[in-house]
Structure 1
């Protein structure tokens, strides 16, 4: 593939990935602040949908574009320690998302949907505990790829 094409794929993936994780955190936090189970259930469902549509797609494009850039640019990873650090941070974010955030999001979504369907006016205490953990893990899972971005552009 041509260098410009794989660079475009890589950057498009970074924009989709980073844009979605940051925007999702904002609007999910705002939905949680309402305390309204119907709004929270809707937001949780959309977190799951947009994670598949934008975060996973963005991550895949980042990986595909990154591999393409290595090949098209003739880059040797052994000569690029900043890229090794960036790739490591990205991998840590992926592991954190797959093992922590994703299962937590699915659980919160089910809990919120069940609460809304039951017509309850408030979310259960378990949901609040999940939100705290999701926030901490989410901050870490956002800082890691921002670090990746830094190491990919700074030498």
Structure 2
């Protein structure tokens, strides 16, 4: 079980860490005003999200469900696991439905050299992304406090 717990925590750190770090460096790139840096940031947002959000977000959920099963916890009937799963799955759905299409849109515009058209989708991506990041921090609280 320590290996499964370690994988769960490591996946969570990488998943949430990607959100925070990407949000910071992407904002700095956009605020720089350097069009080359903005285009690079847009490409890297999509790249890092495909690795860290897709892989480690999935890993957090699957290892969490495996841990719940091993501990005899009914994940949808226990308050803290239910709420954590709802936030994690909801965040994943928001990423797939809204953030990923924005990332693809920004990447296409950057590739076409349409730098002026990057600001609006970046702002939407940033606002939704930071909101989702705050929600993910709630999962940490739920995992530690285990409210009933």
User: Map of 1:87-126 to 2, 5 A cutoff?
Assistant: 87-115=85-113, 123-124=115-116, 126=117
Match of 2:144 among 139, 145, 153: 153
Highest CA radius of gyration, 1 or 2?
1
In structure 2, runs of 5+ residues without a counterpart are: none
Match of 2:29 among 19, 28, 31: 31
- What is the CA–CA distance in structure 1 between the aligned matches of 2:65 and 2:129, rounded to whole Å? 26
Query: Structure 1 residue 102: deviation in Å?
Result: 0.6
Say what the alpha-carbon RMSD is for the aligned residues: 1.5
Match of 2:15 among 2, 14, 17: 17
Aligned length: 146
Query: Structure 1 residue 78: deviation in Å?
Result: 5.7
- What is the CA–CA distance in structure 1 between the aligned matches of 2:20 and 2:89, rounded to whole Å? 18
- What is the CA–CA distance in structure 1 between the aligned matches of 2:51 and 2:75, rounded to whole Å? 30
2:61–2:85 CA contact under 8 A, matched in 1: no
Task: Calculate the TM-score normalised by the size of structure 2.
Answer: 0.91
1:25–1:138 CA contact under 8 A, matched in 2: yes
Runs of 4+ in 1 over 6 A off after TM superposition: none
1:9–1:64 CA contact under 8 A, matched in 2: no
The residue that corresponds to 2:122 in the other structure is 131
The residue that corresponds to 2:55 in the other structure is 57
Task: Calculate the TM-score normalised by the size of structure 1.
Answer: 0.87
2:61–2:88 CA contact under 8 A, matched in 1: no
- What is the CA–CA distance in structure 2 between the aligned matches of 1:77 and 1:24, rounded to whole Å? 30
In structure 1, runs of 5+ residues without a counterpart are: 117-122
- What is the CA–CA distance in structure 1 between the aligned matches of 2:76 and 2:87, rounded to whole Å? 17
- What is the CA–CA distance in structure 2 between the aligned matches of 1:89 and 1:49, rounded to whole Å? 23
